Structure 1
Amino acid sequence: MADDSNTEYLLDASLSDADAMAYVPDPVEVPYPDLEYVSTPETADTYDKYFYFHREDVSFEEALADIRDCDSLARGLNSGMGYQDVYSPYGGLAGAAGGVIGNAIAAAIFGSAEKRRIRRVNLRRCMNFKGYERYGLEKDLWQRFNFEEGFSGEAEHIRQGAIIQQAKVASGPKPATEELGR
């Protein structure tokens, strides 16, 4: 299935969003992504962004349900970047216009990154609550079965394809690397 996404496993783009969110493939058909890399201090510094989950003795179907549940809780969260009242010594319309422009610029610069950070934190908390351990991964490998979204979300067939592969990893063999904790 050709697409401009980096993810390795894609669902049919013609599926409705509801069908993509409910699709449960045969786990044998889902490729297991490459997780082999050599950890360096530079990659270890990025483990707060690039990680995956695993839980002993969980089925693929349960892992898929857990990740979808946590993703639904974490997606679409407000970044907290909204309109801030700006003091203007000039008052009036010129001061208000400057405040609007300044807020738009701040939201464009910081809002998307903050929204991604909040999503990661909430996803980690939810999966930890469900008993999953977290493991670090090198960025290029992580991008093959994950997605990041800021102000715009991924198409549902891309999102669900990545989540399906994440479930394959979460229910697969125990990683040989160190658990990161929360």
Structure 2
Amino acid sequence: MKLRNAVLGAAALAVSLHGAAQAQAIKTEPPMKAFTAEEIAAIPVPETSFDYASVNPKDYEKYFYFHRPETSFDEAYADILECDSLGSGINIYMGADSSSIASAMTQYGVAAGAIGGLVGSVLADAIFGSAERRKMKRINIRQCMFYKGYDRFGLEKDLWQEFHFEEGHGRKDEDERIAALEMQARVASGPRPTTEVLEP
């Protein structure tokens, strides 16, 4: 009996230690991709200048971009990619199965996977309309980027559409998404905008 208890105790300890090791292995930040100077130079720099008098300031709630001084392109891209993923609910478009939730939790943390799993079910379409999902994503991205120290600047709708995308009930083609995120990173890490900083 003592031997059985000792074996069970050792097994429980091993499971506990294995769980602790797995918890420590969970990444707290997404991996940062290293771009070459040639790769960065090949990414178009979108136009952000426009006639401010012709735009209703209320439009800046939907149409905006970010910038943070002294930020490398690699840093900006990693931050934008992470905030876009978190803003999307991560698994909304991946599905709410256990493997995608586990993947999200491993890369972005427990809360992100749990939230993505809750929102990512079929019920989300009944609860949230496409417009509401887009609004939620904008708010989440704004909060995420503000937390990372980025300022927000207003943009005219047509210019915004050149390097941004909206997703309601579906997900954009991955190549289109990456191209837009890369251009956003060019702006976020580029010259400081001369226009007024908006509220987060």
TM-score (norm 2): 0.63
Q: More deviation in 40-49 or 167-176?
A: 40-49
* Paired residues for 1:1-182 under 5 Å: 24=35, 26-40=39-53, 42-75=55-88, 76=92, 78=119, 82=123, 111-182=129-200
Structure 1 residues 160 and 70 mapped into 2: Cα distance closer, same or farther (>3 Å)? same
Offset of residue 41 of structure 1: 6.6
- Identical-residue share of aligned pairs (%): 47
SS of the aligned residue for 2:61 comes to coil
How many residues align? The count is 139
Kindly name which structure, 1 or 2, has the bigger radius of gyration based on alpha carbons.
2
Measured on the aligned residues, the alpha-carbon RMSD in Å equals 2.5
CA distance in 1, matches of 2:53, 2:122: 34
Structure 1 residues 120 and 70 mapped into 2: Cα distance closer, same or farther (>3 Å)? same
- Between the two structures, name the one with larger relative contact order (CA 8 Å, sep ≥ 6): 1
Specify the alignment match of 2:98 in structure 1. none
CA distance in 1, matches of 2:141, 2:62: 11
Instruction: Point out where structure 1 has 5 or more consecutive residues left out of the alignment.
Output: 1-20, 84-102
Q: 1:52-97: per-residue Cα shift (whole Å, max 9, x none)? A: 00000000000000001111111136399948xxxxxxxxxxxxxx
Offset of residue 43 of structure 1: 3.1
CA distance in 2, matches of 1:46, 1:140: 12
Offset of residue 45 of structure 1: 1.4
SS of the aligned residue for 1:152 comes to coil
Instruction: Point out where structure 2 has 5 or more consecutive residues left out of the alignment.
Output: 1-31, 93-115
Q: Which has the higher helix share?
A: 2
TM-score (norm 1): 0.69
